[in-house]
């Protein structure tokens, strides 16, 4: 793999993001257009500068948006017939994979300016189209026997607690941290703090994961305007650079590999290693200022600390106990509140996480701002599958 093919060749000059949550006042098309218009305004360009677009949406008919099965949905909402549009779907890693494909096309010289839109509507869903029903119907047969996402991640939490000194209180600390951060972000779905006691006493979903250990289903959209790095200063006064994007898939997920570890994600480890190698990073904590990671469940964030090299295997719980990943810690993780509190409209999440990195690096994050002067670099981690596909992105200031 040519690790220099993408490095610093693509800039992000504008981003937009809707509030995440239950958006019953707007359609799939309306929320997508809102994010795109915000990104265009942020970049200071008109839609006519867009030469191609990528749409990240996992399952459009969750919200009855059947037209979004084809990429022409984006051309339609922009009223740009003839615009090349590619639809990307890759489990919960859909958003970052859409951005990855767009960045590769710009780096290859095919286009100068492109659009990435992550969009999902999950709350206006008839029972026949529910995510659970579709996964049971079309997913791996073992899902039909009850190994849902909470069930699987509950098993992983149990295993981590058995092999190391991780406790339910450690899982709860992740939820408390992310609610604290989300309460300070104006676009987050849950804007309220919770106590450790509240998390620990919440209804049980899948032992040891309670209600506050699980991410919500949400509506929302996020958009990015990408361009050639050498063109960025001509188009915008403020921008960030895509330094590296690593991606990995593993076969069998958590269902077909008897030897598969339940205390980590191989896809995360491989994607992270690719990104670090491309950026010349040997020690992530020394080179990166903060991260947005895929915390679909509280145990996932703890596993991410370990898989991404923020701490040693088995030390993820200590990382959260010591407050290192808090907003005021030496390595803030999920300053936005993460999927847990910002929300998780599947196809939008990876682009939304990039939006958070973008706002942070440009020091426009308001009450959730973290220090970025040390390295001027942030990391995005987007996981799906569950755990069979991962995309890791590194972004930095020029």
The predicted-structure confidence for 11-68, as pLDDT tens digits, reads as follows 999 999 999 999 999 999 999 999 999 999 999 999 999 999 999 998 766 655 666 6
Lowest mean pLDDT among 124-128, 184-188, 238-242, 285-289: 124-128
**pLDDT band at residue 123 using 50, 70 and 90 as cut-offs:** confident
At what angle are helices 298-307 and 168-182 packed, to 10 degrees? 100
Q: Which structure tokens are listed for 80?
A: 């740009």
* Dihedral angle computed from the Cα positions of residues 382, 384, 388 and 391, in that order, rounded to the nearest 10 degrees: -20
pLDDT of residue 71: 81
Answer whether residue 226 shows pLDDT above 90. Answer: yes
Instruction: Calculate mean pLDDT across residues 269-298.
Output: 98
Answer whether residue 128 shows pLDDT above 70. Answer: no
Contact criterion met (CB below 8 Å) for 19 and 236: no
Per DSSP, the three-state class of 111 is coil
Instruction: Calculate mean pLDDT across residues 69-83.
Output: 90
Answer whether residue 96 shows pLDDT above 60. Answer: yes
Rounded CA gap, 172 and 197, in Å? 9
Strand partners, 116: 54, 224
Active-site residue, 344 included: yes
Catalytic residue among 185, 294, 344, 381: 344
Catalytic residue among 92, 214, 296, 390: 92
Answer whether residue 141 shows pLDDT above 90. Answer: no
The count of C-alpha atoms lying within 13 angstroms of the C-alpha of 296, restricted to the half-sphere facing its C-beta, is 24
**Mean pLDDT computed over every residue of the chain:** 92
Q: What are the chain's domains? A: 10-127+218-235 (3.40.47.10), 140-216+243-396 (3.40.47.10)
pLDDT of residue 220: 97
Angle at 340 between CA 176 and CA 246, to 5 degrees: 120
Answer whether residue 258 shows pLDDT above 90. Answer: no
pLDDT of residue 73: 87
CA distances to 116, 232, 358, 361, 376 from 372, rounded to whole Å, are 25, 21, 11, 6, 5
Please state, for a pLDDT cut of 70, what percent of the chain lies above it: 90
pLDDT of residue 222: 99
CA distances to 98, 145, 165, 182, 358 from 160, rounded to whole Å, are 32, 23, 8, 26, 33
Active-site residue, 390 included: no
Rounded CA gap, 19 and 38, in Å? 12
pLDDT of residue 134: 58
**pLDDT band at residue 251 using 50, 70 and 90 as cut-offs:** confident
Contact criterion met (CB below 8 Å) for 191 and 83: no
pLDDT of residue 385: 82
pLDDT of residue 206: 94
Taking phi first (over 0 means left), then psi (-120 to 50 degrees means alpha), and beta for anything else, what does residue 391 get? beta
Closest CA to 57 of 86, 78, 81: 86
Strand partners, 224: 15, 116
Rounded CA gap, 239 and 229, in Å? 9
């Amino acid at each position: 793999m040519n690790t220099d093919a993408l490095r610093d060749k693509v800039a992000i000059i504008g981003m937009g993001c809707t509030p995440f949550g239950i958006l019953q006042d707007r359609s799939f098309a309306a929320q997508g257009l809102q994010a795109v218009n915000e990104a265009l305004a942020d970049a200071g360009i008109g839609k006519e500068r867009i030469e191609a677009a990528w749409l990240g949406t996992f399952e459009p008919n969750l919200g009855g948006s059947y037209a979004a099965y084809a990429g022409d949905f984006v051309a339609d909402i922009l009223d740009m017939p003839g615009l090349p549009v590619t639809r990307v779907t890759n489990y919960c890693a859909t958003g970052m994979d859409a951005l990855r494909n767009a960045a590769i096309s710009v780096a290859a010289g095919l286009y100068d300016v492109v659009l990435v839109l992550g969009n999902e509507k999950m709350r206006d869903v008839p029972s026949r189209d529910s995510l659970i029903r579709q996964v049971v119907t079309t997913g791996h047969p073992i899902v039909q026997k009850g190994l849902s996402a909470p069930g699987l991640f509950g098993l992983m939490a149990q295993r981590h607690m058995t092999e190391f000194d991780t406790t339910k209180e450690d899982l709860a600390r992740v939820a408390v941290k992310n609610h604290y951060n989300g309460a300070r972000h104006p676009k987050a779905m849950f804007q309220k703090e919770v106590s450790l006691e509240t998390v620990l006493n919440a209804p049980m979903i899948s032992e040891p994961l309670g209600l506050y250990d699980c991410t919500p289903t949400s509506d929302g959209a996020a958009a990015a305007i990408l361009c050639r790095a050498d063109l960025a200063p001509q188009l915008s006064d403020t921008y960030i650079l895509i330094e590296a994007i690593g991606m990995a898939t593993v076969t069998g997920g958590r269902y077909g590999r008897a030897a598969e570890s339940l205390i980590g994600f191989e896809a995360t480890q491989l994607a992270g290693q690719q990104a670090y190698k491309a950026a010349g990073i040997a020690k992530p904590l020394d080179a990166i200022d903060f991260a947005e990671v895929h915390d679909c469940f509280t145990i996932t964030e703890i596993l991410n600390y370990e898989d991404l090299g923020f701490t040693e295997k088995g030390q993820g719980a200590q990382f959260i106990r010591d407050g290192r990943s808090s907003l005021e810690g030496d390595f803030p993780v999920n300053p936005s509140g993460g999927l847990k509190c910002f929300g998780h409209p599947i196809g939008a999440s990876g682009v939304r996480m990039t939006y958070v990195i973008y706002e942070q690096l440009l020091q426009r994050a308001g009450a959730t701002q973290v220090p970025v002067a040390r390295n001027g670099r942030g990391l995005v981690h987007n996981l799906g599958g569950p755990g069979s596909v991962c995309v890791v992105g590194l972004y930095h200031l020029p």
